[in-house]
A and B are shown apart, each in its own frame.
Chain A
């Protein structure tokens, strides 16, 4: 059995990163320009990494599937980015940010990685301000902060409700500068379809030009994957339509371990599903829970009338409303963490108290806030969100309560990486949401942006040199080798196979079927039996896909259906991986809730003795189950506690 070496540096937690940097190997400037690095993805992690590596002098090839690097889905993050600046003098520190992140992750993240994340968080803010990111400011001209879930301090920096956009545009501008200087070459509308391994090291990729359909080879001394998460396995999620887990799956099949696939975050405040043809779910900022009260009717008959459209929310008097979060969690009320709020909504709806025609929605009511604060104050705080809600639903939240329901939002699991962000394949790195590293079983709000930029700006540019220092003698990688030819042939064969099926079903119809199974059995509440059903059903859907999908058009031309089919082929694998991982993890923690493992009050019950490890899945072949490897998680600095949001 392979062993897992996470390469965590020795020494006290707070000294590890400094020690690492002091002793790592570096590449001198003259050698940097001889080394090629492929970065796949242009989100916060990919763009910041490509820009930083380019600035150091490496020769970078940067790929994205969209028409421009600026479109990556990091752009949609609303809330903010955490940093331990302690500008508010409220007692924040690197240690506190580290501790909150570990605790928020339900003690399933690596201490050393999280501490490093907290350490570099401050530099991110400095970097972004220098790039001209227009963070919100106070009248005195200094940076403003807001508070966010899971923390007792205000450490979140924000730019209106568009923080992700502004940070991504900052990274994109840095990237554009490097393109202008010639250190980075952009390949937009290119999709990676395989990684090329030569003598055990990642040496390039095979990518499809999405405009011409041509399959092309690209060689490099190292390959970096920054391709985001796999939330779209569920078909409906808050991810962008193009977000996919294919790059992760390609490298998984080549030997990179996939870690903790079952950890998926469900966001409690999304706009409910309206019908069968829905294509995606829209997130409403978590900040709404600061002043909105969540409720369903107390009486089931009221709920049924609401579902039939016979009465309106405003017809139900206060005494007949069940503010279930306030009832169950008096201390935190409507501000419990995301996973807790999501499960509570599901519990009410499962019991028949849902408030819309599908029975899958709860109310988020601002009536009380308007009574207490006045409409103007509420408008000043949430006006733009209310406007967005009204655009989508045609309902005015000032007059009728909003309807919300949980939706898949983020995946904490991902490609396993060591402390250097290198996967189990030498020369192959994974950064941002694509890796599994820093959030454990649950991610706190405003931490995803922090992690993506930390990896890209301040971690990878160091750690990749420790690898590349040995590679300076290696000449430019020729793409004429047998390994490239084999990888290209594999890709072409796969495409040919897909095109030749000529069945009866569209890619989307099969993807929706997968999504239903995932949501039903690998969603908010999972059971042993349910996960077994999921695995069985996913296998059936996979068979259906490979025998009955229809893809119009040609392979060697622009073909959006083929793009979707290639991604769905991988989602089917990921779905299975999520189910098998969830099945293996006989405990509840963070984004993984097994109904068998809960406290009498219905809270997640961890099994620290048995499951305090990172589940690393190793590919063993097309038709066999993956092999489980375990990276034990040792907690030196923090004491593991049960999360408590009651008092």
Chain B
């Protein structure tokens, strides 16, 4: 009863960051259209292991679209052609029998390749470590309801905070810019009174770190928002710019 399709995969294989890579072509038969994209890759890997070959390495973990671990640039789009999903939520019913699917790793100077389709995204952690927090220690905190926050503000902060740090914004951007990622965290914390106190310091530190790590300059193409699995808005980038410029002009 399940529909199945036959597909051809063109997969980027690369042993290590410094080694040359190339595309390998694999034929897959009878893939259930009910399965997810990553389950299809599981099938490929199972076949490779059966042939005593090394499986294709790709990052994945929760497989429900929230951990941000899965990546993959599929036929010219990060996370594939479905809108507002991660690769693990993309299903094979979105493909047709006989399709050739090209799978590439995120390409960015900030995300060096580890192997095959797995890239190193610690740059995002470094940006967060530069200032993506509110400086509070554990304990000694006033009651949670001591400060009222207007619902629209809290909701907007939540929308910004829904970023999963997958890096699709960088992968989609023709400039390899990380502005959407950075702006989501800056916005969330700049909107809330808890984060406002050190907002100026935070935005300067995070931008400086982002620039240092080799990401490109934002030119407002909006590709990041279009490919973001959580549809984080580029209006956050406007807020980031505002926060940054105000902070710099105050200096």
Contacts and interface: CB of A to CB of B under 8 A. Distances in A.
A274 B32 contact: yes
Contact of B141 (A123, A136, A274): A123
Contacts of B132: 173, 176
A142 B89 CA distance: 35
Contact of B145 (A73, A143, A186): A143
Contacts of B220: none
A552 interface: yes
18 contacts: A56-B138, A68-B122, A69-B125, A73-B61, A130-B141, A132-B157, A134-B192, A139-B151, A140-B148, A141-B148, A141-B150, A176-B125, A179-B129, A274-B2, A277-B43, A394-B93, A550-B49, A552-B53
Contacts of B122: 67-68, 188
A423 interface: no
A283 B64 contact: yes
Given A76-B62, A277-B42, A55 B137 contact: yes
A127 B93 contact: no
Residue with the highest number of chain A CB atoms closer than 10 Å, among B68, B125, B149: B125
B63 A131 contact: no
A48 B138 CA distance: 9
Nearest to A278: B39
Contact of B68 (A71, A211, A275, A309): A71
A309 B1 CA distance: 8
Contact of B135 (A169, A177, A506, A558): A177
Interface string A172-189: 111011011000001010
Given A127-B141, A131-B133, A560-B57, A70 B68 contact: yes
A188 B69 CA distance: 13
A127 B139 contact: yes
Interface of B: 1-2, 32, 34-36, 38-40, 42-43, 46, 48-50, 52-55, 57, 59-69, 82, 85, 89, 91, 93, 114-115, 118, 120-122, 124-125, 128-139, 141-145, 147-151, 154-155, 157-158, 161-162, 164-165, 188-189, 192, 194-195
A135 B134 contact: no
Given A172-B128, A211-B114, A241 B194 contact: no
B132 to A, nearest CB: 6
A381 interface: no
Residue with the highest number of chain A CB atoms closer than 10 Å, among B144, B148, B155: B144
B35 to A, nearest CB: 5
A550 B134 CA distance: 48
Residue with the highest number of chain A CB atoms closer than 10 Å, among B133, B151, B188, B194: B133
User: How big is the A interface, by class?
Assistant: 35 or more
Given A179-B129, A282-B64, A509-B46, 7 more contacts: A73-B67, A125-B144, A126-B143, A160-B158, A169-B161, A242-B61, A309-B1
A68 B63 CA distance: 16
Nearest to B63: A280
A561 interface: yes
A28 B212 CA distance: 38
A391 B89 contact: yes
A52 B46 contact: no
Contacts of A169: 161
Contact of A129 (B118, B144, B189): B144
Interface of A: 48, 51-52, 55-56, 66-73, 75-76, 85, 87, 123, 125-143, 159-160, 162, 164-166, 169, 172-174, 176-177, 179-180, 186, 188, 211, 238, 240-242, 274-275, 277-280, 282-283, 309, 357, 388, 391-392, 394, 457-458, 461, 506, 508-509, 550, 552-553, 558, 560-561
Given A51-B138, A126-B143, A188-B125, A138 B52 contact: no
Contact of B139 (A85, A143, A458, A506): A458
B62 A75 contact: yes
Residue with the highest number of chain B CB atoms closer than 10 Å, among A72, A142, A392, A560: A560
A132 B148 contact: no
B121 to A, nearest CB: 6
A506 B49 contact: yes
A128 B138 CA distance: 10
Contacts, number: 222
Contacts of B40: 277
B55 A275 contact: no
Contact of A508 (B46, B61, B118, B142): B46
B201 to A, nearest CB: 12
Contact of B64 (A274, A280, A561): A280
A621 to B, nearest CB: 32
Contacts of B129: 176-177, 179-180
A495 B64 CA distance: 31
A116 B152 CA distance: 35
Contacts of A177: 129, 133, 135
A271 B197 CA distance: 44
A134 B158 contact: yes
A605 B133 CA distance: 49
B46 A76 contact: no
B149 to A, nearest CB: 5
A129 B64 contact: no
A241 B93 contact: no
B194 A132 contact: yes
Contacts of B42: 277, 279, 508
A241 B45 CA distance: 15
B63 A240 contact: yes
A176 B38 CA distance: 30
Nearest to A357: B1
A159 B125 contact: no
Contacts of A162: 66, 162
Nearest to A157: B144
Contacts of A558: 57, 114-115, 118
B85 A277 contact: no
A174 B54 contact: no
A142 B162 contact: no
Top 9 A-B pairs, shortest CB-CB distance: A141-B148, A173-B133, A134-B158, A52-B138, A134-B157, A129-B144, A126-B141, A274-B34, A55-B137
Nearest to B136: A130
Contacts of A85: 144-145
B49 A561 contact: yes
Nearest to A307: B1
B178 to A, nearest CB: 14
A506 B133 contact: no
Residue with the highest number of chain B CB atoms closer than 10 Å, among A66, A132, A137, A279: A132
A131 B194 CA distance: 7
Contacts of A128: 144
